[in-house]
Amino acid sequence: MIIAVIGDVVARAGREALDLYIPKLKEKYSIDGLIINGENLSGGFGISKKIFEEITDKHHIDAITLGNHWHKNRDVYHLGYENEKLVFPGNAWNLKKKNISAKVITLKNGNKLGVINVLGQVFMHPENDSPFLQIKKCLEELSVKAILVDIHCEATSEKQAIAWGFAEQVSFVYGTHSHVPTLDHRILKSHTGFVTDLGMTGSYDSVIGMDIKAAVKRFEGDSSSKYKPAQDNLWMPTILCELDHHSGVCISLKRLVFTDSGVKEWDPAF
């Protein structure tokens, strides 16, 4: 089966990019499931109930993972920890609820897929629990072989270490949070797909999704300059992960990038 995975969808521009490009994705590729990271869906920070309901319904999204901004819109509490499509980073300093980092979803073809979401520790909140221990706990609870893991981390080294640490145990480990798509997608030990970061969906002409002028001012030292989401030139970086749902083996990965001039594809370099 083929699962399309999309990283941090940022604000209105991100939602508009989904509206533009998901129909094109589904028209060109046969997909069995669609998973996105939704920590930036609502104004760039968090997820609202209205947006959750609108986009899951419109695009038939199977699961939404979150990140360090999971709590920035209080509506998330109305959606609830037990929401079957929402996967929380349960090792976050402000969560520490061990049973919400993994969900098993049933795809439209009837196949079951485990989805795990964890936060990193390096250059992130010092009180986040270990992502390694969190994933181990999740794997003890899951009874399926096909498992995707969203590792929401700042450090590329931590992402690679987690992926190698769980090679042959899960189907696909993918990074989110840094908002920059990487082209290092590969299959580890002939079993586990990996990419350092899926990249953000939203405005291409931006600083990781935020307005360029506001971000430049802020980095120049003007702390009164507030981040606001950018809107121009939409793109949607995506990875297609083909996996065997009985064994959990990742068969192939393909990097796609949708822009207004079409879609580009890249196979792994090796």
Among 42, 68, 91, 134, binds Fe ion (CB under 5 A): 68
Task: Provide the minimum distance between the beta carbon of 150 and Fe ion in the complex, in angstroms, as a whole number.
Answer: 11
**3-state class (DSSP) for residue 96:** coil
Counting contacts by CB under 5 A, is residue 177 touching Fe ion? Answer: yes
Which of the stretches 46-54, 173-181, 187-195, 224-232 binds Fe ion when contact is defined by CB under 5 A? Answer: 173-181
Q: Which of residues 28-67 bind Fe ion (CB under 5 A)?
A: 39-40, 67
Counting contacts by CB under 5 A, is residue 206 touching Fe ion? Answer: no
Counting contacts by CB under 5 A, is residue 197 touching Fe ion? Answer: no
Is residue 69 part of the annotated active site? The answer reads: yes
Counting contacts by CB under 5 A, is residue 117 touching Fe ion? Answer: no
List own/partner pairs for 13-16 with CB under 8 A and 24 or more apart. Answer: 13/202, 13/203, 13/206, 13/209, 13/229, 13/230, 13/231, 13/232, 13/234, 14/40, 14/41, 14/200, 14/201, 14/202, 14/209, 15/41, 15/51, 15/55, 16/234
Counting contacts by CB under 5 A, is residue 201 touching Fe ion? Answer: no
Task: Provide the minimum distance between the beta carbon of 128 and Fe ion in the complex, in angstroms, as a whole number.
Answer: 12
Task: Provide the minimum distance between the beta carbon of 67 and Fe ion in the complex, in angstroms, as a whole number.
Answer: 4
- Among candidate residues 59, 60, 69, 246, the one labeled active-site is 69
Residue 226's contacts (CB-CB under 8 Å, 6 or more residues apart) are 214
| Nearest to Fe ion of 47, 107 (CB atom) | 47
What is the Cβ-side half-sphere exposure of residue 145, based on CA atoms within 13 angstroms?
A: 10
Residues with a known catalytic role: 69
- Judged by the rule CB under 5 A, the positions of this chain that interact with Fe ion are 8, 39-40, 67-68, 177
